[in-house]
Amino acid sequence: MTTPVATREHAEGPARAEVPGCEPPENPVTKFLRTDRLPHIWCAGCGIGTSVNCFARAVDACKIPLDRISVVSGIGCTGRVAGYLRLDSFHTTHGRAIPFATGLKLANPELKVVVYSGDGDLTAIGGNHLIHAGRRNVDLTVICVNNFTYGMTGGQVAPTTPLQAVATTTPYGNLEEPFNLCHLADSAGAVYVARWTTYHVRQLQKSITKALQKKGFSFVEVLSPCPTLYGRRNRVGDGLAMERMFKERCVVKNGAATHDTAFDALAPGQIPVGDFVDRDRPAFLQRYNQTMRAQLGDDFMPYGEPEIDARAEADLFAGPEG
């Protein structure tokens, strides 16, 4: 009569919870999620959810207070990440997550600001912002989920789509060579650059942890299956088949020069993954404060003095003069 399928009701039903000590342990990621917004919009076999799982565990590992971390997304499938995370979260406009995050971070340097978006959003329409944020070394962590296509709009060609791949706007094959995003971020000046796939969950979690702890502009590329719109059209199979492809073709090359890390996702051959860049360079605000102090001496009044307790400030605003 009953089936052994582990439904939500089955797992959390009163029959089990009544036995002391037998409550199922809480999933460590649950506290990061706006569970009232589930189910999410992502397809079966999509890798974005896996990346979120790794991100949540990385935040846990860093022990960043959850009230101090903000997530900024652009538009697209990965752009929906901000909306599912139970953090201060901003779903901005297409391509503009990085400049929004730049303002957020500079106006409150106490915040840990993470940009979480897709390849089309960050590297096509938002490409200019990506390279300039790297150049000025704003203290941001960018997590770029690269699924080789525009998912939300139905599978159009992206700057990351492999040569000759079929997309709805390249029905006879893509004519343009894709970006090597890690090389791009490295050239722009990022202080930390890594690439993993949604198959490499432990490594990815570790790299996001490092990126979050790094002062300056850090960039983590996450190769991810889009079975519905990329995989199906290009005969690379379902989500599982793409994960298997990642497993078989990826080669860990920590410290590799990023100009040697290009790959063709459609042709056979290695896909270099790993921690490619880890270096130090003064972050924007650090340089700003140093320069201004040197130029203006005691007349300089720095922005971003450690924030007064937000609650106290709210009370201040509510005072009689308000």
Partner 1 sequence: MQADRIGVLTGVHFIDGDFAAAEGAIAAGCRFAAGYPITPSTEVVERLASRFPFVGGLFIQMEDEIASSIAIQGAVWAGAKAITVSSGPGISLMAEHIGYAAMTETPCVFVNVQRGGPSTGLPTLPGQADVMQARWGSHGDYGIIALCPNSPQEAFDLAVTAFNLAERYRTPVMLLLDECIGHMLEKVVIPPADEIEVVPRKLTEKKPGEYLPYLPGENMVPEMVKAGMGHRFHITGLTHDERGYPVMTAAAQEKLVRRLVDKIRLASRDVALYEGRWLDDAEVVVVSYGITSRVVHRAVEVAREHGAKVGQLRLKTIWPFPEHLIDQVLGGRVRSIVVPELNLGQLVLEVERVVRGRAKVVPIGHAGGTVHEVGVIVEAILEAGK
Positions that interact with partner 1 (CB under 8 A) = 34, 37, 66-68, 70, 72, 82-83, 86-93, 96, 98-108, 110-111, 128-129, 132, 288, 292, 296, 299-305, 307, 310-311, 313-315, 317-318, 321-322
Of 98 and 245, nearer to partner 1 (C-beta) is 98
Q: Is 314 exposed, middle or buried (0-12, 13-18, 19+ CB in 10 A)?
A: exposed
CB atoms within 10 A of CB 253: 17
Work out the number of other CB atoms within 10 angstroms of the CB of residue 287.
13
Angle between helices 127-136 and 181-188 (to 10 degrees): 40
Q: What is the dihedral of CA 105, 106, 109, 113, to 10 degrees?
A: 10
- On the question of a cis peptide bond just before residue 39, with omega within 30 degrees of 0, the verdict is yes
What is the amino acid identity at position 295? Q
Work out how close the CB of 184 gets to partner 1 at its nearest, in angstroms, rounded to a whole number.
Answer: 15
Nearest distance in Å: CB 299, partner 1: 6
End-to-end CA distance of the chain: 66
The Cα 53–Cα 108 span in angstroms is: 27
Angle at 95 between CA 45 and CA 131, to 5 degrees: 105
Q: Among residues 24 and 302, whose Cβ is nearest to partner 1? A: 302
Whole-number minimum distance, CB 188 to partner 1, in Å? 11
Nearer to partner 1, 89 or 261 (CB): 89
Instruction: State the minimum distance, in angstroms, from the CB of residue 45 to partner 1.
Output: 23
Minimum CB distance to partner 1 smaller for 136 or for 249: 136
Nearer to partner 1, 62 or 163 (CB): 62
Task: Tell me how far, at minimum, the Cβ of 315 lies from partner 1, in Å.
Answer: 7
